[in-house]
Amino acid sequence: MLEEITEAEWRKRNIRYTLIVSPFCLSCQVAETMVEEAFRYVAPKETMYKLNLQLTKTFAYDYNIETVPTLLCKQPEGYTQLTQIRSTANVIQWLVETRKGESK
């Protein structure tokens, strides 16, 4: 299950994965289900967070969020995004790619 977080909490913590959503977005609701399923498969012990973009002030501008739903991943070199959440399989593939090089 995704844990909802506020922008202020997000900025204080070192969060790796965040699903950026809007509560009125039907695509976001479908994406949330796919992301939860993919995350259980790839990283079952890690927490995935979601952030309601409607309740933020400058988050979209600061992190170049142009659409919802967007999956955001903190990497050593910055942030990467997945904006086309088409299936659980494409989310799994993206998660695996963002986790390359991690120690097991």
Separate counts of helices (H) and strands (E) for the chain = 4, 5
**8-58 pLDDT per residue, tens:** 999 999 999 999 999 999 999 999 999 999 999 999 998 999 999 999 999
**70-90 pLDDT per residue, tens:** 999 999 899 999 999 999 999
Alpha-carbon Rg for the chain, nearest whole angstrom, is 13
Please check whether residue 7 is in contact with residue 51, taking contact to mean a CB–CB distance below 8 angstroms: yes
> Tokens 């994965």 — which residue?
17
What is 16-27 written as a DSSP string? Answer: SEEEEE-TT-HH
